[in-house]
Chains A and B, each alone.
Chain A
Amino acid sequence: MKLFLIEARLHLREWPFLLFTVGLPTLLLVALGLSIPDMTKVQESGERAVDTHMPSMMALLSLLTLACNVLPAVLATYREQGVLRRMSTTPVHPGRVLGVQLLINLGVGAVSTVILIVAGKLVFGSALPRQWVGFILVFLLGTAALLAIGLVIAAIAPNGKVAPGIGSAVMFPLMFVAGMWVPRETMPDAMRVVSDYSVAGPFAQALRDTWAGHAPQLMHLVVIAAGLVVFGGLAVRLFRWE
């Protein structure tokens, strides 16, 4: 518990992180939504881009930044500076730090997502997630899968400076195939297939589906869960404490 409180305080002391993980996504949603007319135009599907597409993408931006940049940077730095090794000389296993870090990043991601939802409601009158139980479950499953990817990055990064670089190299392709710049519904078929298996793609789509009140597609959930298992397993095998 004390470890959680202190690690959380340390996270807040690195306030530039929060700028990117909480501030930027909401700022982008509001600024782009207000400045680009197409964002608030009703599409063929009957909804506007600011309703589910934009906020889902911004939530994904926040979660990917946490998973691919923040988490690996913190853990690789801890390993590099011997923080994890120092802890392994106490009765408490350093695995606890890992668990606490995962919780903190999940928490920040959740706060960021809630702020996005509230901002969408206040600024654009968008609906709250209609299938909210499904939305929360998808959020938890998908975030866990992304964090597992982050752990693999933390495991292979030689130090805390290189980690965010590797993270960005993973993050931007994932954002692309998830539909950040080309929404999934307008993607060429071949690209949509890639997107369907990219973990981030099905995660974004499942968020949108539950947001709009539909059930998420089973295939999407399977891909996300498989990502969690594969990358979680890899992380367990590859992670080094020193």
Chain B
Amino acid sequence: MKIIEVRNLRKRYPKHLAVDDVSFDVADGEIFGILGPNGAGKTTTVECVAGLRVPDGGTVRVAGLDPQRDRTELREVLGLQLQSAALPEKIKVREAMDLYASFYPDPADWSELLERVGLDSKREALFKSLSGGQRQRLSVALALVGKPRVAVLDELTTGLDPQARRDTWELVEGIRDAGVTIVLVTHFMEEAERLCDRLALIDAGKVVATDTPAGFIAHLGGDQRVRFRPSGPFDDGLLLALPEVKEVGRSGDQVVVSGTGNLAPAVTLALAQHQIVPGDLRIERATLDDAFLALTGRKLS
């Protein structure tokens, strides 16, 4: 079931066209990624979805609601986490949660939410004393306090250190598992690959393609590579005979096999049949970065 439908969305600012023509659907219960370089129109798109901006063209429906017409109802089903700090400096974590809970007719238990985002020990801390990662987690908790059906998370992990980023990813998966549909805006390929069920690649205000992360990579074709150090000599023909293998190369004592499909299992199986053990086996797969490059001719970052 579709929970979000965006058709031919268009938004022009006085100085530039931010969103040219964006369409996508988000299914109930998935993590949907909106991925693209800075300035591609990602944030403007979700702001239109959340009813914060009035589109110049196209239609948006969230759980059947029109963000412009059904302002209040929309805000009860959609929780939005914004890019930057957005609380008074001297408000306490506890007060912020309590306050935002009071904005909704049927709020979540905010103490429990704080525990879930790992801020339980920071209840009495002032907002300005929180670290970047803690602010982001608080911001996620605030986006969830109204028990939304859809949570929009914009550049959630920008500015976080790698550990905080991984913690946040786990948090996002936990939210999805609790039944909330998530729209994740990001310019991190790794994040999109790890979290998203499906994603839309956006560039210059247009959707370049919509697919699963695996689908994007599969479209690139034979870009998979397996690299290993064989335990003994073998003939290249042994691997070239496999349907998955396209090319076998050697650099020093390392063998590099490129091909498609289930390349690594096919290679290891064929080697095992000849009592060869592939040491230091590494699988190099194409990434969304490569996909973006292939689709737009530009690098993501």
Contacts and interface: CB of A to CB of B under 8 A. Distances in A.
Interface of A: 2-3, 6, 9-10, 13-14, 77-78, 81-83, 85-92
Contacts of B79: 89
Given A90-B104, A91-B76, A82 B88 contact: no
Contacts of B82: 82, 85-86, 89
B88 A83 contact: yes
Given A89-B82, A91-B72, A91-B75, A6 B87 contact: no
Interface string B261-287: 000000000000000000000000000
Contacts of A91: 72, 75-76, 103-105, 146
Interface string B85-125: 11111110001001110111100000000000000000000
Contacts of B80: 89
Contacts, number: 58
- Tell me the interface secondary structure of chain B in the complex: loop
Interface residues of B, number: 26
A81 B86 contact: yes
A3 B99 contact: yes
Contacts of B72: 91
13 contacts: A3-B99, A6-B95, A10-B90, A78-B88, A81-B86, A82-B85, A85-B86, A86-B142, A89-B50, A89-B79, A91-B76, A91-B104, A91-B146
A90 B75 contact: yes
A85 B82 CA distance: 9
A85 B84 CA distance: 11
B103 A90 contact: yes
Nearest to A2: B102
Contacts of A13: 90
B52 interface: yes
Contacts of B88: 10, 77-78, 81, 83
A10 B24 CA distance: 42
A92 B90 CA distance: 21
A82 B84 contact: yes
A90 B100 contact: yes
B146 A90 contact: yes
B47 to A, nearest CB: 9
